[in-house]
Amino acid sequence: MTNREARENDSSLDRALAAARTCGVAGGEAFLEDHSVFSVSVSGGKIENLETQDVRGVGLRLFDHGRVGFTYTADLSDQGLRDAVDIARTLLAHSDPDDAHRLPETDFSDTPEPEIYDPLVARVDPQEKIRAARRVEEAARAADSRVTRVRQSKYTDVVGRVEVANTSGLRRSFPFSRVYASIEVNAEQRSELQSGWYSDFAVRFPSLDPMHIGREAARRAVQKLGATSTATRRANLVLDPIVAASLLESISPALHADNVLKGKSVLAGRVGRQVAGPKVTLLDDGRLQGGDHSAPYDAEGVATRCTMLIEGGVLKGFLHSTYTSLRMGAAPTGNAFRQSFKSPPRISPSTLYLQPTGTARESLMAEAGDGIYITEVRGLHTIDPISGDYSLGASGMTIKSGRLDAPVDRIGIAGNVVDLLMSIAGVGSDLRFMPGGGAGSTTLLMDIAVSGT
């Protein structure tokens, strides 16, 4: 971002706040998003789709006597901002009053900020980005002759800046950059068709490894060939890091303080109680180096931090926005996020992960005995955050003498998330950060009901 663009953004924030101050309400907040996206997908070495997009706009919240009104605009002219303020002011009358609807206090946190920006990403030649997508595909096809089709090999990058300011004097901003690549492939053997998908990301373009992404997707597809079901039984499960991260992300709504306030969390009323096994320490760290969602501040300008959610199996607290922290009398956690300037802040984890227990992956595999290594789960969206009940489809590999043995598919795993957390007996040291946020390690679950043949 150029100095001129930065000055324009500052001017837009100043003019939005000026309009809020003169409209007769107690307070206002302006959230500005300004970023560019480049995306290309290839198949058979040919470009199937290439897109560039520039996004710039402001989300406005007005606060008055416990009421809040929200609107947004991409028209950053004086008139456009005044019109948006007028709309938000009109919406105040339709908001239920609540004393916790207030602006956040300025937080002068001095904890180390994560490295989340590389200005060189914006200067990478588009041809280099296209070559990255092609290299992913080439690596997948070269990895195994049974890879017969690439459904999509995709490269995406985003570079931009986020700024938030309010009428109480808070003003925060930070630049960010990310590069992503992903691929989905089909592997075929004796008329059997299996698919494999993999993705990765980096802050800097040279840090992305297209060859690894392609090879890993191919490996995951080929690994599933010849899969059979397994006997219905109770078994020890070892979760692949991707599965562990996805599972945590899916049960995280039970840790959102707004769901707790609404009575929509299985963990409501359990602070200070045992909700997981003694080896379970669950953290959410907004400043963790390497996290896709790491940032110095959340979408309200509150400093991010490391939040202990579960320690030694005991529930310690929840993820908060300014509103929920005031409602529940809890310390802020910096977990108010926005999908874009077009949406108000909502609670979401930054980098949610299980603290490793100092155990190597190989040791967890050995401890699992004749268990199952789970590489893929289906139906995570069906997990009920209120009851905690779940029923998932899964596939993976059987484990024999601590080693991967044969592929299995069409197996089911059902139960309750609290029982699942109680079953965690070890967390590997191979922590991996996931595109889209979250992180996962190889994780051992003991004595889980598995349905098969």
Do 139 and 211 meet the contact criterion of CB atoms below 8 Å apart? yes
Nearest CA to 346 out of 26, 14, 61 is that of 61
Contact 413, 382 (CB under 8 A): no
Q: What does the alpha-carbon distance between residue 115 and residue 288 come to, in Å, rounded to a whole number?
A: 9
* Single pTM value for the model: 0.94
Q: 10 Å Cβ neighbour count for 330?
A: 15
**Which pLDDT value is given to residue 108?**
64
Cross-strand pairs, 173: 163
Query: Do 92 and 65 touch, CB atoms closer than 8 A?
Result: no
SS3 content of the chain, % helix, strand, coil (to 5): 25, 40, 35
Mean pLDDT over 7-14 rounds to 85
The predicted structure's pLDDT at residue 3: 65
Residue 189 has pLDDT above 80, yes or no: yes
Q: Name the CA radius of gyration of the chain, rounded.
A: 24
Q: What is the pLDDT of residue 304?
A: 95
At 109 the pLDDT is 62
Q: Is 296 exposed, middle or buried (0-12, 13-18, 19+ CB in 10 A)?
A: buried
Q: What is the mean pLDDT of residues 246-262?
A: 96
Between residues 111 and 104, which one has the greater pLDDT? 104
Tell me the CATH number for domain 3-223: 3.30.2290.10
Q: What is the pLDDT of residue 424?
A: 97
Domain with CATH 3.30.2290.10 in the chain: 3-223
pLDDT at 412 (0 to 100): 95
